């Protein structure tokens, strides 16, 4: 059984949003955005995810548990309903929010790789978590997935929501025949490293002065197929150490990541 599937819970509810008939997505070209001056590292949900889960489950908590949440696959047809909430959740700690086109770039092309965690306790389900990914051929010769954004509302952290979102994204990319999945996170962010390494990610490369604040990053990689690492050309991954986000340049990714982890 693959590493990322170990310890999966069957209690959470999964659903796919219905596509509204006749709905259209008028998405403009990707616009560049100004990097944040806050110097941010990779996932809002992760800083507090690493407390001992068994010990946490023994504590009484009057809030709803992860098994009561609804995990929903994003649909571009629901952009008007969910995109404002997605932007608010991800941009909450950024001094300069991203352009709407950055979100549309991912959500329009890879909406089936993006999952939302909804709290059904409100009259209308409230967005409390989101993971946004992409999947495309890489110059190394692999079919590579990339975890671009991961966020969980502060009031709902420490409850395994981020882990559940990452697992769903991994499963979705594996189902689409991905060879590997990558992301970057700060070298000093031990909480983030623990989360992803627990799910089977390995440290692939150290990227010096990767973030705006001058901090280095680790590129983490999860191999989904045996022999994937052997496909790489001699001398590295072939991306010049600039990351794999593509749409977001190094500075923008660094600003985003620091806000998520910082």
Tell me which of 209 and 21 has the higher pLDDT: 209
Q: Given this model, what pLDDT does residue 84 score?
A: 94
Q: Which percentage of the chain shows pLDDT scores above 70? A: 59
Who's near 3: CB < 8 A, 6+ residues apart? Answer: 199, 200, 222
- Residue 139 phi/psi, 5° resolution? -65, -15
Instruction: For residue range 191-238, list pLDDT tens digits in order.
Output: 779 889 999 999 999 999 987 778 899 999 999 988 776 666 544 554
Lowest mean pLDDT among 55-64, 139-148, 248-257: 55-64
Dihedral sign from CA coordinates of 73, 77, 81, 83:
positive
Give the model's pLDDT for residue 181: 97
The pair of three-digit structure tokens given for residue 20, joined into one six-digit string: 């509204």
pLDDT digits (tens, 9 = 90+) for 121-172: 877 789 999 999 999 998 888 899 999 988 889 899 888 999 999 999 999 9
- Look over the chain and give the mean of its residue pLDDT values, rounded to a whole number: 72
Structure tokens at 92: 């909450």
Secondary structure of residue 40 in the 3-state scheme: coil
Q: What is the pLDDT of residue 119?
A: 92
pLDDT given at position 141: 82
The pLDDT of residue 180 is: 95
Long-range CB pairs of 18-22, under 8 A, 24+ apart, other chains included: 18/75, 18/77, 19/75, 19/77, 20/77, 20/78
Residue pair 213/39 in contact (Cβ under 8 Å)? The answer is: yes
Question: Alpha carbon 105 to chain centroid distance?
Answer: 15
Position 12 confidence tier, pLDDT thresholds 50, 70, 90: very low
Measure CA of the first residue to CA of the last residue in the chain; give whole Å.
34
10 pLDDT above the threshold of 60 = no
Query: Quick check: 14 pLDDT over 50?
Result: no
| Torsion angle in degrees (nearest 10) through CA of 13, 120, 157, 184 | 60
Q: State how beta strands 217-223 and 70-73 pair.
A: unpaired
Secondary structure of 8-35 as H, E, C letters: CCCCCEEEECCCCCCCCCCCCCCCCCCC
Residue 51 has pLDDT above 60, yes or no: no
d(CA 140, CA 127): 36
pLDDT average, residue stretch 2-13 = 44
Residue 190: pLDDT band (50, 70, 90) is: confident
pLDDT value, residue 62: 37
- Provide the CATH number for the domain formed by 3-20+35-261 in this structure: 3.40.630.30
CB 38 within 8 A of CB 258: yes
Kindly write down the DSSP assignment for every residue of 82-132, as one continuous string.
HHHHHHHHHHTT-SSPPPHHHHHHHHHHHGGG-EEEEETTSSSPEEEEEEE
Query: What residue ranges do the domains of the chain occupy?
Result: 3-20+35-261
Neighbours of 94 (CB within 10 A): 19
Length of the chain: 262
Lowest mean pLDDT among 49-53, 74-78, 115-119, 191-195: 49-53
Confidence check: pLDDT of 82 > 90:
yes
Mean pLDDT of 18-36: 35
Cα–Cα dist 23/32, whole Å: 27
pLDDT of residue 55: 41
On the CB side of 85, CA atoms within 13 Å amount to: 20
Give the residue-averaged pLDDT of 59-85.
Answer: 76
Sheet containing 13-16, strands listed edge to edge, beginning at the edge strand earlier in sequence: 13-16, 70-73, 115-119, 126-137, 143-152, 180-186, 217-223, 202-207
Task: State the pLDDT at residue 5.
Answer: 52
> What per-residue confidence (pLDDT) applies to 94?
56
């Amino acid at each position: 059984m693959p590493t990322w599937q170990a310890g999966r819970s069957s209690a959470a509810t999964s659903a796919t949003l219905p596509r509204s008939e006749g709905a259209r997505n008028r998405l403009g070209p990707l616009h560049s955005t100004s990097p944040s001056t806050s110097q941010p590292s990779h996932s809002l949900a992760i800083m507090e995810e690493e407390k001992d889960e068994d010990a946490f489950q023994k504590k009484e908590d009057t809030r709803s548990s992860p098994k009561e949440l609804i995990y929903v696959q994003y649909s571009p047809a629901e952009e008007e309903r969910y995109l404002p909430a997605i932007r608010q959740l991800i941009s909450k700690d950024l001094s300069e929010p991203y352009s709407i086109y950055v979100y549309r770039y991912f959500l329009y092309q890879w909406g089936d790789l993006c999952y939302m965690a909804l709290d059904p306790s409100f009259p209308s389900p409230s967005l409390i978590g989101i993971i946004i990914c992409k999947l495309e051929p890489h110059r190394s010769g692999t079919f590579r997935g990339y975890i671009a954004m991961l966020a969980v509302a502060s009031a709902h952290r420490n409850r395994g929501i981020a882990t559940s979102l990452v697992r769903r994204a991994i499963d979705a990319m594996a189902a689409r025949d991905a060879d590997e999945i990558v992301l970057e996170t700060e070298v000093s962010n031990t909480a983030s490293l623990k989360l992803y390494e627990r799910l089977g990610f390995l440290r692939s490369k150290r990227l010096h002065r990767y973030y705006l604040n001058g901090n280095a990053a680790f590129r983490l990689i999860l191999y989904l197929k045996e022999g994937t690492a052997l496909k790489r050309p001699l001398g590295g991954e072939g991306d010049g150490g600039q990351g794999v986000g593509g749409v977001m340049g190094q500075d923008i990714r660094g600003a985003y990541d620091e806000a998520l982890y910082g």
